[in-house]
Amino acid sequence: MSTDTSPSAADAPTTPAGKAADYLDQRTSVGGAVKEFARKVFPDHWSFMLGEMALFSFVVLLLTGVFLTMFFDPSMALIEYHGDGPEAMQGQLMSVAFASTLDLSFEVRGGLLMRQIHHWAALVFMASIVVHMMRVFFTGAFRKPREINWLVGTVLMILGLAAGFSGYSLPDDVLSGNGLRITDGVVKSLPIIGSYLSYFVFGGEFPGEHIIPRLFTVHILLVPALILALIGVHLFLMVLHKHTQYPGGGRTHKNVVGYPLFPVYIAKMGGNFFIVFGILALMGATMSINNVWNYGPYDPSPIGAGAQPDWYMLFLEGSLRLMPGAGTEWVIFGYTLSLNVLIPAVVIPGLLFTFLFVYPFLEARVTGDKREHHVLDRPRNVPVRTGLGVAFLTAFVILALAGSNDLIATHFAMSLNQITWAFRILFFVGPVLGFWITKRICLGLQRKDRELVLHGHETGRIVRFANGEYIEVHRPLDEQERWLRVNYDAHKPLEIEPATDARGVKRPGYKKDKRWQKLSRFFYEDRVEPVTPAELAAAHSHGEHDEVESAQHSPELVSGAENADREH
Amino acid sequence: MSENQNTPGRDVTAPNAAAHPERFDDPGVPAHRSRLTDVDPKAAKRNERLIALIFGISCVGAIASIVVYFAVRPDGTTAGTRLSTALLGTTMAISLLGIGIAAIHWAKSLMSDHEHVDERHTLASSPEVREVAVQHLADGVEDSGIARRGVLKGAAVSALALFPLTFAVPLISSVGGDWNVSKFRHTIWERNKRLAYDPSGRPIRAADLTVGSAAHVIPEASQEEMRSHEWITEKAKAVVLLVRLNPEDLRSDQSPEGETWSYDGIVAYSKICTHVGCPVALYEQQTHHLLCPCHQSTFDMADGAKVVFGPANRPLPQLPITVDDEGYLVAQDDFAEPIGPSYWERLK
Amino acid sequence: MKALAARRHHRAAPVVLLLLALLVTGGLYAVLAPSPATAETASTATDVEEGHRLFQANCATCHGPNAEGTPEAPSLVGVGAAAVDFQVSTGRMPMQMSGPQAAAKPPQMNPEQTAQLAAYIASLGAGPAIPTEEQVDASLGDSANGALLFRTNCAMCHNAVGAGGALSEGKWAPPLDDVSEQNLYQAMLTGPQSMPVFNDANITPDEKRDVIAYIVEQRDGSAGGISLGSLGPVSEGLWAWVVGLGLMIGAAVWIGAKSS
């Protein structure tokens, strides 16, 4: 056996750790991976931890979820309850699923804690996904080469909705049962296939005796498996692309500036996992959530005030609430088309999700930009994107508020009907206003940046010249400050080839190009160009007598004068 | 300068642009700023002790959690469960947060904070690699002969297209039960079926209902019948809201010519919303309005359950009622139309 | 003491303890609560007369000089003493201003005046009487049956645990957490304002007591910690954002900030 691949005897590891590493490496070539990844650089910023928060909430969901599956029994068999649960539940007829939820909350010590952590983690999971997506959107992190990862992330968000909804329904209580009933109503409204799809979901008529076991499989196998797989893809692509970084000195599209994975990020990320878990544990310990025994076991007759889904589905609830019913149910050749359900429950969410899916490609098309982008945009520097994002969020928030209109009515002593009308109008006006205001604010901030770069910081110091003239002394920006404000591209609308060629022949595809140009104009018509060195020089010479010169004349401004000199 | 016309904020004409570069230069990574712990060994030592202390608190939290688990047994009361949950969770949070805070503080204050720079590489493979890849694929296609052997290609595609059916057909045909969607049309209400209070199941005597009453109604059934899934599924369609108005307040109901579906100011309407099927149950006895708590469709019980607000389009279907010889309220028949939300073939 | 400790884990222990607690609460209530005691004393002719005088002074403007009703307010003939006691002892009547509905406020009449008014209205026509103490004694009720009844008949307006809810056009179903047992019973019996009537055929007196037992049980709070108003998923979502995400983003800012 002369084919010994281990290092020569002289380098043979002597320590136990070294021996173990050698053993592993000979079987897995893990050394290569460690070499590649151990000191991989990650940029540091708080907003880069939002995705981490989602990931870690998901890990907490898996951990607590495993705990819960040990005690939960997803059976719809009916039993009479006698257990350690609340007095009001004793002797009631309920499904085994509901009874086992009571048992795991009241008989299993720590069970209620785990259930509450699980539910809080689910709410925080979705919330952190949303803020993570906001960060990615507003900073343009979805641009080439990350478009595919944006799609993966959006699918993950939708899977999160599915996971949440299926889990919310598992205890088989009145609140979630009515949620399922609404789902059934929405499914039935689908043209042609509605009734059959309802049977498909419920295994017959609503509610039947199959839905809870089916949702259980979806909740603990199907959706988590898909989420895990896609998280794998999401993180793989993130590592492959290397993380984006905020603009700043020395940060370019060709590099990544930050701290090494080992040890700094291992400690920070690992620490953040424990912080996320700790905060969720604290919430589970002190704040009650989804007390299903308040709602009682599912029965098709009762309903409670405040019948709402978890927050991430509220936009659908609000959408359903806002749609006026009069005249929106059409009968065509004897077939019923319920637009009062289809529009709010299918079309509106469809539009919202379509926007998320197509936006990166749309923006790339109207920008005509095929470069890779690794330095993030400051939201102000892309006013239309930022405006569109705010418009989207405005629509989402208005729908979610409309889904809470009864609580708004009771807490602010208003009329339910008036609130509904206000939201009906706001749903159309709000996003437009949101877009417009945001765009104006962005342009204003860009101009402010130009002002700062050209004229420096106001110092509040007033200086009088010998001739009696007063001026305020401005302090020029240092080069890091300035770089942050001038280092961006103000994209221009697409330029297209003329309608006819040199010989006057009509060019095919001109109309299509023209339409894209129109859209491109919408994006980039209004723009503020970054200050160029020439402009800065011009500003200095123009304002010489009131800025630079004054600084040189006034003895207390030496440092400012030095700065100004260096720049020339 | 025409290009700059639509550039708001450009108030400065650039003179002599040639003398200056088009853009500013990258000033490079800002100079490293040393932390207190980098320059003061005492501070570093202090932080080290602090981090160790926080890890120590975490250990105490973990141990306390075990102690609490065995020492605080919930006694079955609400307060007992609350105490146990709060103590277990808080100690758990201390152990977790301790690790998190200590690790991060360690990373921030004691680990090197010199920034590193990694180069990025274009993601696209080089032309040579691409060429080899394309060649590999071409070789594979050539080896398989798929381009030349058309029949084989067709046969393989057919087989692959058909095999999912072996999985999908059994699944889909079984998953929907009997697929008999005509069940939506009927409920268990029938001629002379007594109306009973939900959930007690006591039949309702017309004389017992005072004006302004609202009763949640199920078809009369034995306690035995009521303990099955079939019952729950039927109840999901059969629940009815019964109200008694002053007969002069009752402007209209849904009775067709020559029939009377109400009885002396008592009207019974399906409780399942025609919007998406929530139980519509908030009866305001002064306005005679019935409000759905889910999406706030409002129906006027004094006027044929017509929609007065919200997303529902159709009135709630009325259950025709009368009284039997003993004075109990009974149904005249099943609902005249399918109850609940609309669906494609509802009117077929 | 040892025997007691051992029995603490007995299956029936929670039930016994709860019953004890309810008994104590009920007993204390019986001793401390003054208004039902006055309400129970048989009304005399002077009460009716005094009540009539109070009525003329405080109620007749809207309800008419003989409580026969006006376009502004309904007739009170036949509404019974229970309705008067409910409306007046919760401060809803006399109404201060018109609005979508009369809100509860500190009562304007003392228990004696309330009883006199009730006696006067009861003398105008037969109606539901003020319930006896035993009828509203939560400790005698079966909260499990109460839960069933509450869920079907009350929760749609008052929320699953009685936290209140919205009705149409600015009206609302009030929270039940600080409503006295007497008033709970009277409300079911008489159907004040928007609330439908649940007479004794619909919900029997025993069943009403079960409902009261259920509502009273909810006052123990939530087994999981702070109840967050028991308003359901919307308030939970709000707290998930404010507390959960707030703390986590705060931590993230700390993690991302350079150490000094």
pLDDT tens across A448-501, in order? 999 999 999 999 899 998 999 998 888 999 999 999 999 999 999 998 888 888
User: What's the pLDDT at B150?
Assistant: 87
Nearest to C148 among A92, A288, A291 (CB): A92
Distance to chain C for A413, nearest Cα, Å:
7
User: What's the pLDDT at B315?
Assistant: 95
Q: Cα(A547)–Cα(B154) distance, rounded to whole angstroms? A: 80
User: What's the pLDDT at B108?
Assistant: 93
User: Which pair of tokens denotes residue B279?
Assistant: 């139980």
Q: Is the pLDDT of residue A261 over 50?
A: yes
Domains plus CATH for chain C? 33-130 (1.10.760.10)
CATH number at A44-297+304-377 = 1.20.810.10
* Chain C interface includes A217 (CB < 8 A): no
Task: Answer yes or no: are the C-beta atoms of B186 and B206 closer than 8 Å.
Answer: no
User: What's the pLDDT at C29?
Assistant: 63
Distance to chain A for C58, nearest Cα, Å:
27
Q: Cα(B277)–Cα(A180) distance, rounded to whole angstroms? A: 10
Kindly give the confidence (pLDDT) of every residue in chain B, 348 residues in length, as a single tens digit, with 9 standing for 90 and above: 334 444 444 444 444 545 788 889 999 999 988 999 999 999 999 999 999 999 999 999 999 999 999 999 888 889 999 999 999 999 999 999 999 999 999 999 999 888 899 999 888 999 999 999 999 999 999 998 888 888 999 999 999 999 999 999 999 999 999 999 999 999 999 999 999 998 889 999 999 999 999 999 999 998 888 999 899 999 999 999 999 999 999 999 999 999 999 999 999 999 999 999 999 989 999 999 999 999 999 999 999 999 999 999 999 999 999 999 999 999 999 999 999 999 999 998
Task: Answer yes or no: are the C-beta atoms of C94 and C84 closer than 8 Å.
Answer: no
Other CB atoms within 10 A of residue B198 CB? 28
Q: Cα(A271)–Cα(A98) distance, rounded to whole angstroms? A: 37
The model's pLDDT over A386-421, given as tens digits with 9 standing for 90+, comes to: 999 999 999 999 999 999 999 999 999 999 999 999
Across A552-556, average pLDDT = 40
User: What's the pLDDT at A183?
Assistant: 95
User: What's the pLDDT at A494?
Assistant: 92
Q: Cα(A268)–Cα(A278) distance, rounded to whole angstroms? A: 15
How far the first Cα of chain C sits from its last, in Å, is 59
User: What's the pLDDT at C156?
Assistant: 93
| A329 contacts in chain B (CB < 8 Å) | 313-314, 342
The model's pLDDT over C198-226, given as tens digits with 9 standing for 90+, comes to: 999 999 999 999 999 999 999 988 999 99
User: What's the pLDDT at A568?
Assistant: 37
Nearest to B29 among A249, A322, A335 (CB): A249
What is the identity of the amino acid at A169? S
Q: Cα(A52)–Cα(A58) distance, rounded to whole angstroms? A: 10
Distance to chain B for C46, nearest Cα, Å:
31
Task: Answer yes or no: are the C-beta atoms of A72 and A118 closer than 8 Å.
Answer: no
User: What's the pLDDT at C8?
Assistant: 60
Across C185-195, average pLDDT = 92
Q: Is the pLDDT of residue A213 over 90?
A: yes
Chains that touch B (3 or more CB pairs under 8 A): A, C
User: What's the pLDDT at A566?
Assistant: 38
The model's pLDDT over C5-30, given as tens digits with 9 standing for 90+, comes to: 556 666 666 666 777 777 777 666 65
Is A86 in contact with C217 (Cβ distance < 8 A)? yes
Domain boundaries, chain A: 44-297+304-377, 441-567
| B73 contacts in chain A (CB < 8 Å) | 109
Percent of chain A with pLDDT over 90: 84
* Chain B interface includes C178 (CB < 8 A): no
Interface of B with A in 272-311 (CB under 8 A): 273, 275-279, 281-282, 293-297, 307, 309-311
* Chain C interface includes A139 (CB < 8 A): no
Across A342-346, average pLDDT = 95
Task: Answer yes or no: are the C-beta atoms of B227 and B209 closer than 8 Å.
Answer: no
User: What's the pLDDT at A558?
Assistant: 33
The model's pLDDT over C85-137, given as tens digits with 9 standing for 90+, comes to: 999 999 998 888 877 888 888 999 899 999 999 999 988 888 889 999 999 99
Q: What is the ipTM of this complex?
A: 0.91
Which of A336, A446, A525 would you mutate first to test chain B, the one with the most B CBs within 10 A? Answer: A336
Other CB atoms within 10 A of residue A439 CB? 19
Interface of C with A in 84-103 (CB under 8 A): 100
Is C196 in contact with B296 (Cβ distance < 8 A)? no
Question: Strands, DSSP E only, in chain B?
Answer: 116-119, 195-197, 214-219, 240-244, 266-270, 282-284, 289-291, 298-300, 306-309, 321-323, 329-331
Task: Answer yes or no: are the C-beta atoms of A534 and B20 closer than 8 Å.
Answer: yes
Q: Is the pLDDT of residue C31 over 70?
A: no
DSSP label of B203: B
Q: Cα(A540)–Cα(A564) distance, rounded to whole angstroms? A: 9
Chains that touch A (3 or more CB pairs under 8 A): B, C
Q: Cα(A231)–Cα(A55) distance, rounded to whole angstroms? A: 8
* Chain A interface includes C235 (CB < 8 A): yes
Q: Is the pLDDT of residue C40 over 90?
A: no
For Cα atoms C201, A305, B253, give the angle at the middle one, nearest 5 degrees. 55
Which of C156, C255, C258, C259 would you mutate first to test chain A, the one with the most A CBs within 10 A? Answer: C255
Nearest to C259 among B109, B216, B281 (CB): B109
Cut 0.80: pTM above it:
yes
